Structure 1
Amino acid sequence: MIFDLKTALKYIILFLIGIGILYLAFRGQDLEKIWHEIKTANYFWVVVSAITVLIAHVLRALRWQMLYQSIHYKVSFWNAYHAVMIGYLANLALPRFGEIGRCSVIHKAEKVPMFASIGTVITERLFDVLMLFLTSLAMLIFQYDIVADFLYQTIYLNLVKKLSTINYLWLVGLGIIILLLIAIAIYFLRQKFSKKFLRIFVSLRQGFGSYSKLKRKGLFLTYTLGIWLFYSLSMYFAFSSIQATSGLHFNAAFTAIVFSGFAMAAPVQGGIGVFHWMVAQSLVLYSISFKDGLAYSTIIHSSQVLLILILGCLSLMLILFKKQSG
């Protein structure tokens, strides 16, 4: 019960942090004008944007299915798709819980060992991190003149300021204590649960090795590129939803997707607040007012959350119905 209370408090605090960031982002802005932009938006382009996000989700399910096939588990596309959508749905309530949640769906639906699934998810996420790194690098190379001032003023100077206040002796001491605690924990776990620990390790290693065993690595990489392309297209199509951003080109969508990628990495439910601030800030680089950037980010974030709520709940109902009928 204490663990449950602590967990609940942690997620409540994270949610409140997200709300706080959202408040700071909108503080001092003309909320009436932002609301007017949202009300008068061209929702045809919002729907088109949502469809491209859905295509990215489908590609993610296909890519994940490939990893299972490489380690000789037959996971159907629909179960992989439903698990992905249920995972996104879970992330809206509990950040990072969705990764475990979708593995649990596959475990129950396809009898795949839980830790083998976790290994495939970690492998998949490593490629997403690699793509975020590569897209960030491309943004720096091809749009350095646009993003350089933001990186220096907002990121570098703030980082230097924070680092100057850190007591490094305390930091080194804390790092040593953490490493010792991890080493002790691993030792006792191996002593007490050696056979179970070994089974978990074997399952995880099987999942980690899923990419190396792929027969069609080119297709896997194509799916990975496709996911990021359709995410970028969703940003680009949504530009046409409001007048202020309708003249932006694809390079602005590319920058926005990089900024949003870092925002979604924050341990906050659905990236609330962080997503809004980061995307709005990215559009400021292209002479869009922060107010209009907030209106745009609110529209695209709300449409994606609505998509997950509808399709995630539908997937959950279908999986539960299938389980009951089976």
Structure 2
Amino acid sequence: MAFDLKSLFKYIVLFLIGIGILYLAFKGQDLNKIWHEIKQADFLWVAFSGISVWLAHVLRAMRWRMLYQSISYKVSFWHTYHAVIIGYLANLALPRFGEIGRCSVILKTEKVPMFASIGTVITERLIDVLVLLLSGLLLLLFQYQLVSDFLYHTIYSNTADAIKSLNYFWIIGLFILMVILTTLIIYLIRKKLSKKFLRIFAGLRQGFNSYRKLKNKPLFMVYTFGIWFFYWLSLYLAFSAIQITSGLGFNAAFTALIFSSFAMIAPVQGGIGVFHWMVAQALVLYSIAFKDGLAYATIIHSSQLLLILILGGLSLFSVLLVPKIK
């Protein structure tokens, strides 16, 4: 992956946006009280939550391996596991770099062509997006009142107020800027596609074929729902770490899962800032004060960050010891 000054600037901007959102989330909050709650947390439950997340990563590696096997690449479980963990580690530095990083690991350890790997990753991501959208639909169906209140009062009202506060000069300026940016993006996409269309198409086709050729689709879906179950369980277990959230149930964990998953889609390193704000907003729906939600989100995010740093370091060390296949 080419890395130049323009790419560096883009990632620095994305990181600063994440920091800015984090600042806005904590702005006006009593930081001493939040820190006190974090220090008083029962970290045994945090550890259980971390184990649940790790099990989700293990299932992700097993599921990904099935896609390789369906297109006749017999990769080992441990190499796919290390690639998945290293991918998460890479995402902490550069958003969306993890997908390329984990494919590079498989290229090194198993000599699977990059675009074959990218095809399987695209397939995996598409399936996860479908599960997320389905889960979001279920959330709307069964907890409509809670979610609709959030969408109206937090998203729609704040956006409408912000627009109303702008004068016509700023609105026209923003419109012109949007037109320029849209035109520029379309031009760049067409330029990129004209050079790489065939390779991208081949990767997509092979990725879709990897799912179509699966011999055991039910097992693949068991792994998929298992991944999401353990993410859900990790959030639920972490509720017991803080006294104020210990009374929350599976419904609150499910809502937090959906909100946090949408937060992690944001192109910001490790979802920093966006994750904290979204999780805290999810818990507000269950009568948890925003500052307490921030304390909970900080514990969850920090523990998962620490987990990836430790596991990622071990996996990176293990992969570096593997001689490159020629």
Give the TM-score normalised by structure 1: 0.90
- Paired with 1:158 and 1:42, the residues of 2 have a C-alpha distance of 36
Q: CA deviation at 1:148?
A: 1.3
For structure 2, the 5+ residue unaligned runs are 165-170
Q: In structure 2, what residue type is equivalent to 1:96?
A: R
Counterpart contact for 1:20–1:273, Cα < 8 Å: yes
SS state at 1:101 partner: helix
**1:109 corresponding residue in structure 2:** 109
**1:255 corresponding residue in structure 2:** 255
**2:168 corresponding residue in structure 1:** none
Q: In structure 1, what residue type is equivalent to 2:135?
A: T
**2:20 corresponding residue in structure 1:** 20
Q: CA deviation at 1:81?
A: 0.3
Deviations 1:149-193 (A, max 9, x none): 111122234455678947778856865665455445544x37xxx
**2:278 corresponding residue in structure 1:** 278
- Paired with 2:7 and 2:325, the residues of 1 have a C-alpha distance of 34
Counterpart contact for 2:90–2:101, Cα < 8 Å: yes
User: Larger deviation: 156-165 or 306-315?
Assistant: 156-165
**1:208 corresponding residue in structure 2:** 208
SS state at 2:41 partner: coil
Within-5 A mapping of 1:62-81: 62-81=62-81
Inter-CA distance 134–160: structure 2 relative to 1 (3 Å threshold): farther
Indicate the RMSD between aligned Cα atoms, in angstroms: 2.4
Q: In structure 2, what residue type is equivalent to 1:19?
A: I
**2:300 corresponding residue in structure 1:** 300
SS state at 2:286 partner: coil
Inter-CA distance 162–230: structure 2 relative to 1 (3 Å threshold): same
Deviating above 3 A after TM superposition, structure 1's stretches of 4 or more consecutive aligned residues are 157-187, 197-204
Within-5 A mapping of 1:1-326: 4-158=4-158, 165=171, 175=182, 178-179=185-186, 182-183=189-190, 186-187=193-194, 189=195, 198=198, 201-323=201-323
- Paired with 1:185 and 1:101, the residues of 2 have a C-alpha distance of 21
Deviations 1:97-142 (A, max 9, x none): 0000000000110000000100100100001111110111111111
Counterpart contact for 1:119–1:206, Cα < 8 Å: yes
- Paired with 2:193 and 2:325, the residues of 1 have a C-alpha distance of 42
Deviations 1:18-43 (A, max 9, x none): 11111111111111111111111011
Deviations 1:35-85 (A, max 9, x none): 111111011100000000000000100010000000000111000000000
- Paired with 2:199 and 2:189, the residues of 1 have a C-alpha distance of 20
- Paired with 1:207 and 1:46, the residues of 2 have a C-alpha distance of 36
Counterpart contact for 1:85–1:308, Cα < 8 Å: yes
- Paired with 1:19 and 1:184, the residues of 2 have a C-alpha distance of 32
Give percent identity, aligned residues only: 69
Paired positions, count: 318
- Paired with 1:103 and 1:325, the residues of 2 have a C-alpha distance of 14
Inter-CA distance 234–3: structure 2 relative to 1 (3 Å threshold): closer
Counterpart contact for 2:91–2:98, Cα < 8 Å: yes
SS state at 1:323 partner: coil
Q: In structure 1, what residue type is equivalent to 2:101?
A: G
Counterpart contact for 2:83–2:106, Cα < 8 Å: yes
User: Larger deviation: 144-153 or 277-286?
Assistant: 144-153
Counterpart contact for 2:109–2:324, Cα < 8 Å: no
- Paired with 1:185 and 1:102, the residues of 2 have a C-alpha distance of 23
Inter-CA distance 174–90: structure 2 relative to 1 (3 Å threshold): closer
Q: CA deviation at 1:8?
A: 1.3
Q: In structure 2, what residue type is equivalent to 1:252?
A: A
Give the TM-score normalised by structure 2: 0.90
For structure 1, the 5+ residue unaligned runs are 191-196
- Paired with 1:173 and 1:93, the residues of 2 have a C-alpha distance of 30
Q: In structure 1, what residue type is equivalent to 2:249?
A: H
Q: In structure 1, what residue type is equivalent to 2:255?
A: T
Inter-CA distance 307–221: structure 2 relative to 1 (3 Å threshold): same
Counterpart contact for 1:116–1:205, Cα < 8 Å: no
Counterpart contact for 2:264–2:271, Cα < 8 Å: yes
Counterpart contact for 1:56–1:228, Cα < 8 Å: yes
Counterpart contact for 2:82–2:319, Cα < 8 Å: yes
SS state at 1:209 partner: helix
- Paired with 2:146 and 2:203, the residues of 1 have a C-alpha distance of 46
- Paired with 1:251 and 1:142, the residues of 2 have a C-alpha distance of 10
